[in-house]
A and B are shown apart, each in its own frame.
Chain A
Amino acid sequence: MDLSEINFAVLVASLIVASTPLVLAALGELIVEKSGVLNLGVEGMMIIGAVAGFIVGVETGSAYIGMMAAAMAGALLSLLFAFIILIMQANQVASGLALTIFGLGIAALMGHPYTGIKSPQISTISIPFISEIPVLGTMFFQHDLIVYLSLISVLVIWYFLNRMRAGLIVRSVGEDHDVAHSLGYRVVTIRFLAITFGGAMAGVGGGYLSLVRVPQWTEGMTAGAGWIALALVVFSGWRPFRLLIGAYIFGGITILQLNLQAIGVNINIALLSMAPYLATILALVVISMSRFRGNRGAPGCLGRSFVKIT
């Protein structure tokens, strides 16, 4: 075993790539939950995004068009969920689980002819000058567009939730839908929009998996990423920056353990593969134990159906 075989800069760069699907999907779910809806269908929306993105990407030869198709597919599936829980007022937990199972099944069906094909390349964008900085440049400034977008999304979503009126309205609807209704806000419309946004983000996350991260289509390739994204939202205390840190810890350990496996560290492979999950849980439990006020984070109406009371 030779730890010097591991290039630290490359390690960080690849952990960012590995974490990007999680960041995207979890950010989407963050907005959904802030509006008071618990969508357990993230995994389903991700895999639909992965398969749709891959198919369109292969057929058009453009990873970007594929990524857009992934967003559309995720959003489309989430609309089904929105209809079931907002209009038919079905139970959110059950509907979300059904969405995941539905998504996994239909993605396997759609993706079958595409198994084993290589996806179109996505180009990396080296940011002029700063990407030349040794080590740091390799780590942070030689990525593809989607990675930069995911980082910008963290900022934008933080700003939206904490500094913008529209974000405040979304939070209000999630905290107490009856009060929001009595102030004249359209609870159902706002939640519809939030769910659709969450679906699109999960779709892009899935598309990034199949088009960039892996990059090919295999059945069930999300492998629980949707569930990790869900857990990240909860443990981050519904805060975008903590969510990013959580995602990078998970991605980081995933990459590190792969590298360790590659150089032949004498640890059981099962244990190594388990490490990212364990570390994520541990880190996030520690975060959520701290005495910050942010741990009040759970929206007051999370998972509750809105019934208009007259």
Chain B
Amino acid sequence: MNNKIENTLFQCRAINKEFGNVRANNDISINVRSSQIHALLGENGAGKSTLVKIIYGLLQPDSGSMTFLNEEYSPKSPKDARALGVGMVFQHFSLFEPLTAFENILVGLDKELGEKELHASVIMLSESYGLEVNLSSFIGDLSAGERQRVEIIRALIQKPKLLIMDEPTSVLTPFECESLFKTLKKLASEGTSILYISHKLKEIADLCDTASVLRKGAIVGEYDPKKMTPRELGEIMVGQSLFEPKRPVAANRSNKVLSVKINEVKPDTQFGVTLKNIDLAVYQSEILGIGGVAGNGQEELMQVLTGEKKDRNVSIKYMDNDIEMLNPRERREIGLAFAPEERLGHAAVGNLNLLENSLITDPKKRFQMKMGFIDFSELNEYTNEIIEKFNVKTTGVSALASSLSGGNLQKFVVGREIGQKPSLFIVNQPTWGVDALSAANIRQAIVDIANTGAAIILISQDLDEILEISNKVAFLTNGNLSIPTNTMDIKTDEIGAIMGGISD
């Protein structure tokens, strides 16, 4: 017992925080021991972010107390937190895109460091923790993984004793995740404690020593993730048993819905990927999963499929019609639906409310009355249905899309598209940033429309998701698509080889 107290690095006791009449944190107490990776596990809206913002000094608790290094700890601002040895890496990166990596690191420091001195410490950090970054590049030109490395360096340079990581893997490719885990493990072994926020159960089992589970703003308990299955942990997190969607049963596999042939499509920007030799077909009631590491042509393929990019070197046949020269609107009118990866600004308009966001993709003009008036009662009903069916957490249909958390907006967008009852649904990263239960819901909804006859193209970087519900899978590597194979026939060790681009 004595030993335990000595080992405690950070402690919070009975933290309460209310927003309006929502109790985001209800009597939360946790205990982070030194040199440990401590998971804070919970669904979207469980209160994880509120808690870490309190620890980082961005918010002040209504009541409760904290101790850090055996001393009273009550930061009034992130500056106080950093000065005392608490660092944080945000989920949506807190980096300035028009500034260089170096300037971003500089602006996060609280004291003035000489340019040479800073360079030296950054290089030292990046070498000892495998955090490679080109300091003079603009953040806007960097990938998500590189951006995160900049953030981590910025946090580490102040030598924190407690490092908070807010859903760090939600934007990373599997490769990037692996190198992040190595970094974190090394940090922990050297005495830095890490408060690791996530709802990804498998990575918590791999990485963390302890897991505090939050549900609806309160602590459910503290568990040892190494001694539990991810599923058990997930059920504690959501407070009910999890189900696994089953892939659609073969019903009408003879009707080809879409076939796509691409010889070569050059990218619009120098950072893009050239699509080459793509030949795919998807049939009624079939889910075709397209896997691969981010940045291997997913974005570009999606643009060709939606019609945002039209190219003469592409042939797209939809139910015997050539549609390669149709724009997205025209494609939607004949029964296609799309949910692109980027939710705000691409799939949804941030400054419009949910009603208006339902209205903007309404190919069949369901919500239009005579003379172009909007049928608000119908629209209301439709939007409410989406919110209810997909468990979208929002204040109501008149909430702005930008006010929703990423995961909730994702649920809304997928729900909106599925609600159009498309014959062909093309979706990129449907469960990105979505909690376990809602992700299972979304997958189930995709399977459901497939079972009623829709064809689905599911582009995802989540391999488990693809293997779980797809009938066929193919992988994108460097703009090339492997030949679609039946999911049942594929072996896991083959996947690694295909994704690595070795067997082509």
Contacts and interface: CB of A to CB of B under 8 A. Distances in A.
Main secondary structure of the interface of A (DSSP, over half): helix
Contact of B95 (A165, A168, A179, A296): A179
B98 A184 contact: no
Nearest to A184: B78
B59 A182 contact: no
Contacts of B19: 310
A171 B96 CA distance: 9
B90 A182 contact: yes
Contacts of A169: 107
Contacts, number: 44
A172 B108 CA distance: 10
B94 A179 contact: yes
Nearest to A166: B112
Nearest to A181: B58
A219 interface: no
Nearest to B103: A168
Interface residues of A, number: 14
Interface in A175-215: 175-176, 179, 182-184
A300 interface: yes
A183 to B, nearest CB: 6
A175 B98 contact: yes
B97 interface: yes
The CB with the most chain A CB atoms within 10 A, among B19, B94, B106, B112, is that of: B94
B98 A300 contact: yes
A175 B78 contact: no
Main secondary structure of the interface of B (DSSP, over half): loop
B58 A300 contact: no
Q: What interface size band does chain B fall in?
A: 20 to 34
A165 B108 contact: no
Contacts of A310: 19, 53, 58-59
Contacts of B90: 182
B107 A172 contact: yes
Interface of B: 19, 53, 57-59, 77-79, 82, 90, 94-99, 103, 106-108, 112
A300 B107 contact: no
A183 B94 contact: yes
A184 B82 contact: yes
Contacts of B103: 168
Contact of A184 (B59, B77, B112): B77
Contacts of B112: 165
The CB with the most chain A CB atoms within 10 A, among B58, B59, B96, B99, is that of: B96
A189 to B, nearest CB: 12
Given A182-B90, A310-B19, A172 B96 contact: yes
Nearest to B113: A165
A104 B490 CA distance: 77
Given A175-B97, A296-B98, A310-B19, A168 B59 contact: no
B45 to A, nearest CB: 14
B78 A182 contact: yes
A184 B97 contact: no
Contacts of B99: 168, 171-172, 175
Contact of B106 (A168, A184, A296): A168
Given A168-B106, A168-B107, A310-B59, A182 B94 contact: yes
15 contacts: A165-B107, A172-B96, A175-B96, A175-B97, A175-B98, A175-B99, A179-B95, A182-B58, A182-B78, A182-B90, A184-B78, A184-B79, A184-B82, A300-B96, A300-B98
A167 to B, nearest CB: 10
B107 A184 contact: no
Contacts of B78: 182-184
A94 to B, nearest CB: 18
A310 to B, nearest CB: 6
B97 A300 contact: yes
The CB with the most chain B CB atoms within 10 A, among A169, A179, A300, is that of: A179
Given A300-B96, A300-B97, 7 more contacts: A165-B112, A168-B103, A172-B99, A179-B94, A179-B95, A183-B108, A184-B78
A173 to B, nearest CB: 10
A172 B98 CA distance: 9
Interface string A270-310: 00000000000000000000000000100010000000001
Interface in A120-166: 165
A169 B104 CA distance: 10
Contacts of A175: 96-99
A179 B96 contact: yes
Contact of A165 (B58, B77, B82, B106): B106
Nearest to B59: A310
Contacts of A183: 78, 94, 107-108
Contacts of B94: 179, 182-183
Contact of A176 (B58, B59, B96, B108): B96
A302 to B, nearest CB: 12
Nearest to A309: B403
